[in-house]
Amino acid sequence: MNPMLWGVGTSDYGLQPGTRVEVLCWTAIREAVDDAGITPAEIDAIIVGSVFGPPGVATRVQRGLGLPGVPMWTVENACASGTSAYHEAVQAVRQGRFGCVLVLGVDQMSTLFSGAIVPEATDPEGAASLPLPGLYALQAQRYVQEFGVTPEQLAAVAVKNKRNGLDNPRAQLRKAAPTVEEVLASRMIAEPLTFLQCCPTSDGAGAVIVGGERGNPADLRIEASAMVSGALWDHRSQDVWGYASVARAAEQAYAQAGRTPGEIDVLEVHDAFTIGEILTLEALGLAPRGKGAELAPSGHTARDGAQPVNPSGGLLSRGHPLGGTGTAQIAEIACQLRGRAGDRQVARHRVGLVETMGGGAAGMDGNACVVTILSVP
């Protein structure tokens, strides 16, 4: 059975410690069910992606939906948890196991962390007090030394995405878009990454309905969904941390879809830090090695550019509730491809791509990476 995307929905994204995590989920699910034009009773299975969700959160969501007995399970794959759950749903529909699957991604970070996620103490990074901002900063430092990437090029990614976020009513950060100078003048977090080059701690949920072909003109074709786990990574690895995982997932997705990078109209990628977007776009094939930093300053990835990237504002503006991030990315691409993105709508919107990379386990090239390609039938 050919899998199709039937519907999407999200909650607002931001600091919402007083809102129960199930309520965040129900808001997103209600939107997705309405968008798909179905009733909850038509859902055959539920797959939840979450990293820090409280034990039993999926069951409480299921209870609130009034769907006891429907097969349901939870996936944890770091930042790629939501898209990993989506990938499992796509495969389940393709194999004919289920006809309609609800995918839910959710995390409530504000009740757990006031800043960067605390690394696992038993890992070398944890023992060295090296959280993810430091790991991404090491990527940036290597690119500065090896390819001459400038602070201004890094800052241009933040300027672009924060400007896009102004038109996203669901985004956490919607203040006036900063200039390059303001980005660079903000507080240093992990050199060369400043405060405005780091995504905020967030709460939020996203939902996606995946099913088979049903003749609905609003449904989107899922041309490809590829998921890879991180390979071993240490001082002998030629690429910076995370690069190879994204490249392997992208290669598989392009092969499944029969497409090249140049055929992608609009992208939502994992920009937890500005260097993350630059490296990801190189791994996806939008730029040669060492040239990804030129895409934002040149306007290529601007909302009115040749290949807009993160028209939603990305993680840098929308926020990053880990499990809820991948499903939010899919929801944005669905809105773009359907021409329903309002003030942030891009001009070319026939083919879209989502990439989410989860990292954290020491000695591995990330936990997992998912790349999916969607298109208008």
Q: What is the DSSP string of 303-363?
A: TTSSS-B-TT-HHHHH-B-THHHHHHHHHHHHHHHTT--GGG--S--SEEEEEEEE---TT
* CA angle (157 as vertex; 357, 355 as ends), nearest 5: 20
Residue 126: pLDDT above 90? Answer: no
E strand or H helix at 152: helix 151-165
| Amino acid symbol at 92 | A
Q: Active-site residue among 79, 198, 199, 369? A: 79
State pLDDT tens for residues 89-118.
Answer: 999 999 999 999 999 999 998 888 666 676
> At the fourth CATH level, which superfamily is domain 4-112+199-375?
Thiolase/Chalcone synthase (3.40.47.10)
Helices 81-94 and 323-337 sit at what angle, rounded to 10 degrees? 60
pLDDT (0 to 100) of residue 266: 98
Higher pLDDT, residue 115 or 162 = 162
For position 241, what pLDDT does the model report? 87
- The burial of 185, by beta-carbon neighbours within 10 Å (0-12 exposed, 13-18 middle, 19 or more buried), is given as middle
Position 127 confidence tier, pLDDT thresholds 50, 70, 90: low
Q: Is the confidence at residue 156, as pLDDT, over 90? A: yes
Beta bridge partners of 352: 266, 374
Check residue 53 and give its pLDDT: 80
Instruction: Specify the range with the lowest mean pLDDT, choosing from 16-30, 120-134, 352-366.
Output: 120-134
Q: Which amino acid is at 134?
A: G
- In the chain, % of residues over pLDDT 70: 96
Q: What is the pLDDT of residue 175?
A: 85
| Active-site hit among 87, 270, 320, 349 | 320
Cα 276 from Cα 24, distance rounded (Å): 27
Looking at residue 129, its pLDDT comes to 61
Mind listing the pLDDT tens digit for each residue in 322-347?
Answer: 999 999 999 999 999 999 999 999 99
User: In the prediction, which pLDDT does 102 show?
Assistant: 98
Q: Predicted confidence band at 235 (pLDDT cuts at 50, 70, 90)?
A: confident
Closest to 102 (Cα-Cα) out of 233, 235, 209: 209
Q: Is 199 a catalytic residue?
A: no
* pLDDT computed for residue 261 by the predictor: 98
Average of per-residue pLDDT across 51-79 = 89
Q: Are 117 and 358 in contact (CB under 8 A)?
A: no
pLDDT band, residue 67 (cuts 50/70/90): confident
pLDDT digits over 195-230, tens only? 999 999 899 999 999 999 999 999 999 999 999 998
Q: Which residues pair with 9 in a beta bridge?
A: 207
Each residue of 97-134: b (16+ CB within 10 Å) or e? ebbbbbbbbbbbbbeeeeeebebeeeeebeeeebbbbb
Quick check: 157 and 296 in contact, CB under 8 A?
yes
Examine the pLDDT at 367 and tell me if it is beyond 90.
no
Two structure tokens written together for 120: 């696992």
Tell me, yes or no, if 369 is annotated catalytic.
no
What pLDDT does residue 209 have? 98
* Burial (Cβ within 10 Å: 0-12, 13-18, ≥19) of residue 19: middle
Q: How many residues does the chain have?
A: 377
Cross-strand pairs, 373: 224, 353
How much is the mean pLDDT over the chain?
A: 93
DSSP state of 241: T
Burial grade of 60 (CB within 10 A; 0-12, 13-18, 19 or more): middle
Cβ atoms of 225 and 87 closer than 8 Å:
yes
